[in-house]
């Protein structure tokens, strides 16, 4: 189900059979039509007017909320922009989960895609459909789900996962080999803040010099929010097995940020991803 080629084949079959709600009248002209330098998924006749359709396979879910993309995709943003240029285009998210009540763009991961979608939402038709399985687990029906494009600013909290390759002493304390979860916040632009910290020598803004030799960022996880306090994140991480809480005051701009030690990589723990997904999409789940 994560094979986008299969998703296109499935949607093509349902479209040809008149099984896509609201699109029963469409007649397929061509698959993978070329438009300028781009290639869309379908070209159809829509009441004697040609219409391009771009299909996005959606495999990111939390409770009954679906989202796209699950990674930064400049290609997806380009598709939206070019689809708007056709003046008669449809962007369709095929949600590969049956227990879904709404779709929301993943602005936490790809803010550019979110802004592009918001900018052109009046120039293209944006639709989302969830799959429905029969008793034999075959997909023979699609059901529309609401598309929610909220107004958000690029501010909130962020988590950096750092790996420390060696044990050393700092301020008479042992800094162990393992993983350190750095929790910060930005009231301005969370993505710019993360970008600055990920630059060469960027960690000097938040960590003492002694930490820098073998401490490397292996992942960054922004959460766009105005309601989740940093102390809530700290409590969740400590409950998940974190220890050795360090309050960092090396830079006044990051004085309230914290770092928590984990022996094992939290990126490999299900509770950690449950926390991240709840922070990101819990507000939309009912």
What's this model's pTM, rounded to 2 decimal places? 0.91
Whether 124 contacts 89, CB under 8 Å: yes
| Domains of the chain with bracketed CATH | 4-144 (3.40.1350.60), 156-284 (no CATH)
Q: DSSP string spanning 210-245? A: GGTTTEEEEEEEEEE-SS--HHHHHHHHHHTT-EEE
* pLDDT above 70 for 259: yes
State the maximum Cα–Cα separation within the chain, in Å, rounded to a whole number. Answer: 77
pLDDT for res 255: 64
Whether 259 contacts 180, CB under 8 Å: yes
- Report the SS3 class of residue 90: strand
| pLDDT winner (highest mean) among 30-34, 164-168, 183-187 | 30-34
Residue 8, class by beta-carbon neighbours within 10 Å (0-12 exposed, 13-18 middle, 19+ buried)? middle
Phi, psi values for residue 18, rounded to 5°? 70, 30
Question: What's the pLDDT tens digit per position in 228-258?
Answer: 988 899 999 999 999 876 666 556 666 667 8
Stretch 121-130: mean pLDDT, rounded?
97
Percent of the chain with pLDDT over 90: 70
- In this structure, is the dihedral angle defined by the CA atoms of residues 182, 186, 192 and 196, taken in order, positive or negative? negative
């Amino acid at each position: 189900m994560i094979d986008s080629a299969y998703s296109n084949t499935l949607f093509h079959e349902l479209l040809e059979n008149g099984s896509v709600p609201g699109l029963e009248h469409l007649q397929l002209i061509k698959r993978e039509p070329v438009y300028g330098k781009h290639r869309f998924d379908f070209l159809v006749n829509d009441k004697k007017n040609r219409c391009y359709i771009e299909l996005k396979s959606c495999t990111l879910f939390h409770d009954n909320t679906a989202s796209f993309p699950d990674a930064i995709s400049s290609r997806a943003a380009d598709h939206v922009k070019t689809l708007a240029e056709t003046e008669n285009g449809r962007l369709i998210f095929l949600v590969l989960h049956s227990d879904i009540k709404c779709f929301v763009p993943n602005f936490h991961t790809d803010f550019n895609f979110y802004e592009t979608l918001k900018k052109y939402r009046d120039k293209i038709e944006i639709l989302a459909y969830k799959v429905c399985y029969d008793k034999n687990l075959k997909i023979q029906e699609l059901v529309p789900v609401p598309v929610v494009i909220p107004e958000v600013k690029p501010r909130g909290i962020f988590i950096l996962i750092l790996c420390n390759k060696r044990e050393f002493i700092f301020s008479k304390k042992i800094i162990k080999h393992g993983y350190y979860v750095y929790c910060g916040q930005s009231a301005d632009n969370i993505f710019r803040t993360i970008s600055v910290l990920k630059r060469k020598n960027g960690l000097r803004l938040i960590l003492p010099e002694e930490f820098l030799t073998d401490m490397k960022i292996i992942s960054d996880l922004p959460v766009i929010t105005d309601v989740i306090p940093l102390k809530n994140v700290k409590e969740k991480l400590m409950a998940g097995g974190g220890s050795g809480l360090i309050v960092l005051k090396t830079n006044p701009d990051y004085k309230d940020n914290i770092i928590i030690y984990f022996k094992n990589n939290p990126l490999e723990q299900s509770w950690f991803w449950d926390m991240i997904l709840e922070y990101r999409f819990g507000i939309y789940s009912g």
